[in-house]
């Protein structure tokens, strides 16, 4: 049947109720499709007022779905269902239903997608069974509002259409389908636009997962970490004692403090002092010192343990920063549309900003990986037990002594500090997890 349009929502619902009662009077089952739970429950309330027995099938009653569907094709059965309810289930017609016309489908409004409407229509007349369908619309429906109903409303007023009188004509159905087609095309353009943003993410994802796969495949990461170390040193030198900086602008104290903090190495004890050295002399001396310390750590721990630690630290830093980057990208995408007010292309700005975020993330990963490798140490199981026993005994003592409690608190590692047990994880993700 062609769609019928009413002026108000109340008129539409009254017409739906009358259609249900009429179909029941001749013994036909009725399936009413709604867009939302609110609509299905409103329709249910109206049917109760008319004392019409019915079943509601929506997300609230999904546990009764099989039972409701099994009876939906019986004579005079009335079932109200939302879009997602009862999908993929054929409705078997009861005894004598075929002879009176089969299942009748009622749509309470059109959807943005014609596919969903066709799915609802397709519930009737399955496998050669008889059936029919009709959509009831009104000028207050969401789809009608989106595409302007002033002309149609004006025409109804001009024609003197009385309350409760519908407009029914094939050209109206065609016009609504054209409106749906416009919405589908608009949504397609949105999805296409989103894909362009996803392309940026995919490039970043490929870079990160290449790194992760290299770690997970057990490759030797020593050369890679040595390259990272050299890059991090170059970055620190450029920041504090850069070649392009005037000597008077050098911050040697800042460099000394940064190296001490990051690598636990005090370069202030050098002879000659860093203040008396050139940029290249500091660079050469610093790289030599840190490379020697790294080799010394490897000799102490053993090559096998060092390779394991390199992989563990690398994977931990990559995963932590990649998760943070994904959140940052989401926030960036949410707000990037505002740049259009400044006559800028949001996609171009998104690519630029996301590249900056990604580059910063890579630099942070490199810096944290090499610094962790100089700070973290592996301990034996017996040492781990001693550390845990010492900590637990200290905590029990602190409960009875307030001064001890203060001391324990001061000695306690920060949540983002390396765990004292030597696992290479942050304290909050290791022994501080349950605090």
The rounded percent of the chain whose pLDDT value lies above 90 is 27
The residue with greater pLDDT, 16 or 189, is 16
405, pLDDT greater than 90: no
The residue with greater pLDDT, 286 or 125, is 286
Most trustworthy range by pLDDT among 161-165, 184-188, 272-276: 272-276
Task: Check residue 410 and give its pLDDT.
Answer: 37
Residues 202-230: b if buried by 16+ CB within 10 A, e if exposed? eebeeebeebeebbeeeeebeebbeebbe
Q: What is the DSSP letter of 422?
A: S
Which pLDDT band holds residue 396 (cuts at 50, 70, 90)?
low
Largest CA distance in the chain: 105
365: tokens are 């990963």
pTM of the model: 0.50
The residue with greater pLDDT, 59 or 346, is 346
Task: Check residue 402 and give its pLDDT.
Answer: 46
CATH number of 202-375: 1.10.3060.10
Task: Check residue 154 and give its pLDDT.
Answer: 62
Q: What is the DSSP string of 228-294?
A: HHHHHHHHHHHHHH-TTS-GGG--HHHHHHHHHHHHS--GGG-SS-GGGS-HHHHHHHHHHHHHHHH
Task: Check residue 403 and give its pLDDT.
Answer: 47
Task: Check residue 2 and give its pLDDT.
Answer: 74
Q: What angle do CA 104, 107, 110 make, to 5 degrees?
A: 150
Average pLDDT score over residue span 124-151: 76
Which pLDDT band holds residue 87 (cuts at 50, 70, 90)?
low
Beta strands in 279-402 (DSSP E): none
CATH number of 4-168: 3.40.50.300
Distance CA 25, CA 302 (A): 88
Task: Check residue 93 and give its pLDDT.
Answer: 85
316, pLDDT greater than 90: yes
Average pLDDT score over residue span 120-125: 77
Q: Where in the chain is the domain with CATH 1.10.3060.10?
A: 202-375
In whole numbers, what is the pLDDT of the chain averaged over residues?
80
The rounded percent of the chain whose pLDDT value lies above 70 is 76
Min mean pLDDT across 38-47, 125-134, 212-221, 252-261 is at 125-134
Distance CA 253, CA 261 (A): 12
The residue with greater pLDDT, 382 or 258, is 258
């Amino acid at each position: 049947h062609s769609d019928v349009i009413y002026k108000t929502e109340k008129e539409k619902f009254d017409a739906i109720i009358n259609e249900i009662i009429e179909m029941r009077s001749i013994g036909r089952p009725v399936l009413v499709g709604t867009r939302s739970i609110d609509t299905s429950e409103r329709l249910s309330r109206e049917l109760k007022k008319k004392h019409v027995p019915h079943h509601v099938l929506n997300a609230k009653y999904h546990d009764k779905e099989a039972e409701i569907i099994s009876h939906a094709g019986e004579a005079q059965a009335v079932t109200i269902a939302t879009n997602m309810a009862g999908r993929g289930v054929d409705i078997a017609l009861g005894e004598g239903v075929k002879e009176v016309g089969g299942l009748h489908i009622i749509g309470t409004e059109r959807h943005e997608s014609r596919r969903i409407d066709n799915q609802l229509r397709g519930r009737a007349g399955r496998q050669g069974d008889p059936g029919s369908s009709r959509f009831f619309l009104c000028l207050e429906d969401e789809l009608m509002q989106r595409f302007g109903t002033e002309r149609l409303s004006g025409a109804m007023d001009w024609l003197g259409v009385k309350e409760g009188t519908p407009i029914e004509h094939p050209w109206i159905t065609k016009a609504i389908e054209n409106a749906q087609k416009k919405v589908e095309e608009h949504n397609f353009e949105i999805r296409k636009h989103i894909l362009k943003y996803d392309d940026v993410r995919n490039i970043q994802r490929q870079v990160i997962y290449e790194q992760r796969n290299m770690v997970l495949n057990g490759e030797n990461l020593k050369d890679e970490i040595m390259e990272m170390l050299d890059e991090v040193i170059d970055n620190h030198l450029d920041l504090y004692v850069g070649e392009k900086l005037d000597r008077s602008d050098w911050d040697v104290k800042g460099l000394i403090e940064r190296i001490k903090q990051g690598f636990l190495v005090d370069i202030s004890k050098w002879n000659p002092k860093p203040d008396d050295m050139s940029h290249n002399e500091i660079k050469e001396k610093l790289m030599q010192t840190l490379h020697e310390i790294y080799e010394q750590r490897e000799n102490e721990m053993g090559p096998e343990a060092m390779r394991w630690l390199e992989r563990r630290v690398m994977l931990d830093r990559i995963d932590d920063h990649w998760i943070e980057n994904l959140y940052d990208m989401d926030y960036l995408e949410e707000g990037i549309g505002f740049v259009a007010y400044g006559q800028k292309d949001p996609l171009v700005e998104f690519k630029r900003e996301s590249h900056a975020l990604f580059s910063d993330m890579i630099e942070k990963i490199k810096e944290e990986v090499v610094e962790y490798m100089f700070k973290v140490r592996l301990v034996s199981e017996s040492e781990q037990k001693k550390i845990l026993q010492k900590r637990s005994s200290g905590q029990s003592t602190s409960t009875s002594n307030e001064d001890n409690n203060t001391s324990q608190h001061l000695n306690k590692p920060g949540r983002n500090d390396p765990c004292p047990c030597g696992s290479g994880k942050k304290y909050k993700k290791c022994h501080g997890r349950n605090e």
